[in-house]
A and B are shown apart, each in its own frame.
Chain A
Amino acid sequence: MKKNSMKKAFLAVMGSEKRQNITIPLLEVLLGLIAGTIIFLILGKNPIEAFAAFLQGCGLFPKENYAGGRGMFTDFLSYLDNWTPMIFAALAVAVAFKAGLFNIGVSGQMLLSGFIATITVGYSPLPAVVAKPLVILIGVVVGALLGGLIGYLKHRFNINEVVSAIMINYILQYLLSFFILSFYTNPITRQSNVVSDASRLTLQDVMIGDYKTVIPLGFLLALVAVAVMHYFINFTKFGYELKAVGFNGRASRYAGINVRRTIMKAMMTSGALAGLAGVTYYLGYLGSIQPRVLADLGYDSIAVSLLGNANPIGIVFSSFLITVISKGSTYMSSAVSVDQEIGSVITGLMLLFAACGAFVRYKLHMARVSVEEEAREAGKAGKGGDEK
């Protein structure tokens, strides 16, 4: 009896099937934060101070003091600058995910599109009006081609997309680092030469009031991409086919959906979005490419996408959160002196809980069924009693 009331209470908190789409991710995040709190306590740090430091590092909470010409607003815009590629990358994972595919090659697609845009447009004397749209175009095309390659290998040769994407990631990482180190390296920073301001998607050193800030132009594009993907997934034939294939490939083939073409389309869309993440990251946020390193952001985007239920609107919120953790961890590390890797640990733990999301949904469903059944039984028993 007591167990049943617990069940009811849990059901009431988690809400109806529809509300669960929000409450389950919230639960996952909450569990991740609790786990993070426990880690901070074990290390003997004040968790509130630590979490506040995450926010301070992102300009969402005022720091005690700022260097000259910098303020909370500076940090916030720099945070937006970092958030932008994360939105694109998470959308990329989400689109593939809807079709039942796992695009773990986002960081490779980001690197290649960023690299090609850098050496073609980034090092050219083109004026801003031409250069910026061209950078975006290259990002989309290169990303789509690379994503398409993974899709092609999947449906033509039956190669698991995770394995092929990882192989392509490593090949690109070493191949491009070879080119960067041989031809484009800056001897002082040991990174590729910084791209021209005209081609850069983030305006640098803009004075707003007294503060020196950056303006991430890509952020607007990211919001547009969210709206467009939301429309495509929910209101078009393409989105319907995508979800049908992801749900049951064989059934959709019998229903007359061209599964191969859908897989190709999904991977190309995913790649294009990853390409946009690449150009906003390498030609926006950073301005240069570090050889032999794949962006962590590409892997974090998996967490973002899972937490956001692979839903474009959900992704806006989950990417906001994960970027706070990843970007804020640098400041947090210096403020409370804990290794900044703890950021990825917290993200990882949220991922762990997110992976159990389907199970929670299943349990809730079972609980609801059993509660309903009991109510029906009780009703019957009551009626039976009256008759007697």
Chain B
Amino acid sequence: MSTIIIDGMAFAMPLFIIAVGGIYSERSGVTNLALEGFLGAGGFFGALFVACTSSLFAASSQLPMYLSLLVAMVGGGLYALLHAVLCIKFKANQVISGVVVNIIAMALTDFLTSQINTSVFGASSDRFVLSVSSRFTVPVLSSIPVLGGFFTNVYPFEVIILLVALAAYYLLYKTTFGMRLRACGDNPSAVDAAGGDVAGIRYIAVMLSGALSGLGGMCFAYSIFANYSSSIYVGYGYLAIAAMIFGNWKILPTFWACVLFGFARSGGYRLVQVLGMPSTYSDLIMILPYLLTLLLLVFFSKNNRSPRALGEIYDKGKR
């Protein structure tokens, strides 16, 4: 039982922060299918940082990991600028832009990873190897039956994500900026009339979205793959979008959706182990999160209320 909780949370938390990134972008009125590309690009910058600085730190040092999370956020935010410029400045169709941004992220990071490995590090490899993240166990709490799993073998990044998510929650719901951001998604003209800068707010929202996704991507790279390669593109960005849709574009319900995904996945793997099925069956387990997404979408999409101005290009001249 505790393995299910440990692995489930390690998967759910990065997914959650990526979904929060999606919420930021979409609540500001910019459709964001580019989360997959953001998380990959952010992870790429973070991993590149680790690869470049690995000689500066002691092998067991955990400092590069924390720094790489920061670099991934900055990198993801900068990469997200591409989506923002396409959608806001160039008035591109936001769905197309999202898909294009994803495709470019995959092509570019894949190419750059092997190219940098050959020309800078002199090794022909398609991945950046990361150190193994340490884990910690909270002494007393971890001995609580069942729930103790939440405090056992926790990745440090799970705590960081929790803190960042709290900050994101505060910013979105308790500040003037957050209120304006949400208003941009529902009624941009009103924001404009009140003296707000719709385009500016949307730029910031999309970049924050990229930063949060980058953080999530780097955490995925550490927890699931322990290295960075193109295998990071397995559709978790789209899972995050689905989680956001169940969560009705609100942060707290989205969190529960992510936890559900995490437990479905880790529970499935555990089941294969317990029943002693051959490894080919793990392919069937891999289906679970996607299948669950599709089923939940069928049940929940109908009653959902997406931001009213979502996907609309805001044109000041149009009234």
Contacts and interface: CB of A to CB of B under 8 A. Distances in A.
Nearest to A44: B119
B256 to A, nearest CB: 19
B280 A355 contact: no
A18 B216 CA distance: 46
B136 interface: no
Q: Looking at A164, A306, A344, A348, which has the most chain B CB atoms within 10 Å of its CB? A: A348
A61 interface: no
A170 interface: yes
A7 interface: no
B111 A342 contact: yes
Interface bracket on B: 35 or more
A128 interface: no
Given A167-B290, A175-B287, A341-B110, A356 B92 contact: yes
A174 B234 CA distance: 11
A228 interface: no
B280 A178 contact: yes
B99 A104 contact: yes
A42 B287 CA distance: 42
B235 A170 contact: yes
Interface in A340-371: 341-342, 344-345, 347-349, 351-352, 354-356, 358-359, 362
B235 A339 contact: no
B104 A349 contact: yes
Given A162-B98, A163-B293, A163-B297, 17 more contacts: A43-B115, A43-B119, A102-B99, A104-B99, A157-B297, A162-B33, A163-B241, A168-B294, A170-B287, A174-B287, A345-B111, A348-B106, A352-B104, A355-B86, A355-B100, A356-B86, A358-B92
A43 B116 CA distance: 11
A170 B242 contact: no
A162 B34 CA distance: 11
Contacts of A351: 100, 103-104
Interface of B: 33, 82, 86, 90-93, 95-100, 103-104, 106-108, 110-111, 114-115, 118-119, 234-235, 238, 241-242, 245, 280-281, 283-284, 286-287, 290-291, 293-294, 297-298, 301-302, 304
B312 to A, nearest CB: 13
Given A163-B245, A164-B297, A166-B238, A178 B283 contact: yes
B280 A182 contact: yes
B298 A157 contact: yes
Nearest to A337: B118
B33 A159 contact: no
A352 B108 CA distance: 12
A303 interface: yes
12 contacts: A102-B99, A158-B301, A159-B297, A163-B242, A163-B245, A164-B297, A344-B103, A344-B110, A348-B100, A348-B107, A355-B90, A355-B93
Contact of A181 (B104, B114, B283): B283
Q: Determine the main DSSP class of B at the interface with A.
A: helix
A171 interface: yes
B280 A306 contact: no
A302 interface: yes
Q: Looking at A166, A169, A349, which has the most chain B CB atoms within 10 Å of its CB? A: A166
Interface in A209-240: none
A383 B18 CA distance: 64
A356 B287 contact: no
Interface in A160-200: 160, 162-164, 166-171, 174-175, 177-178, 181-182
Nearest to B96: A355
Nearest to A339: B114
A359 B103 CA distance: 20
Contacts of A162: 33, 95, 98-99, 238
Contacts of B108: 345, 348
Contacts of B115: 43, 339
Q: Looking at A341, A345, A359, which has the most chain B CB atoms within 10 Å of its CB? A: A341
A299 interface: yes
A341 B78 CA distance: 23
Contacts of A158: 301-302, 304
A153 interface: yes
B91 A171 contact: no
A312 B302 CA distance: 35
B284 A175 contact: yes
A356 to B, nearest CB: 5
Contact of B298 (A153, A170, A177): A153
A358 B241 contact: no
A13 to B, nearest CB: 20
A303 B103 CA distance: 9
B298 A167 contact: no
A166 B235 contact: yes
Contacts of A260: none
A233 B33 CA distance: 28
A275 to B, nearest CB: 20
Contacts of B293: 163, 167
A292 interface: yes
A159 B298 contact: yes
Given A162-B95, A164-B297, A339-B114, A174 B286 contact: yes
Contacts of B291: 167, 171
Contacts of A43: 115, 119
B103 to A, nearest CB: 5
A167 B82 CA distance: 25
Contacts of A355: 86, 90, 92-93, 96-97, 100
Contacts of B301: 157-159
A358 B297 contact: no
A281 B303 CA distance: 40
A339 B111 contact: yes
B297 A181 contact: no
A369 B3 CA distance: 66
A300 to B, nearest CB: 9
A352 B100 contact: yes
Contacts of B97: 355
A164 B110 CA distance: 26
B287 A171 contact: yes
The 9 closest A-B pairs by CB, nearest first: A344-B107, A341-B111, A178-B283, A348-B104, A348-B107, A359-B90, A174-B286, A170-B290, A166-B238
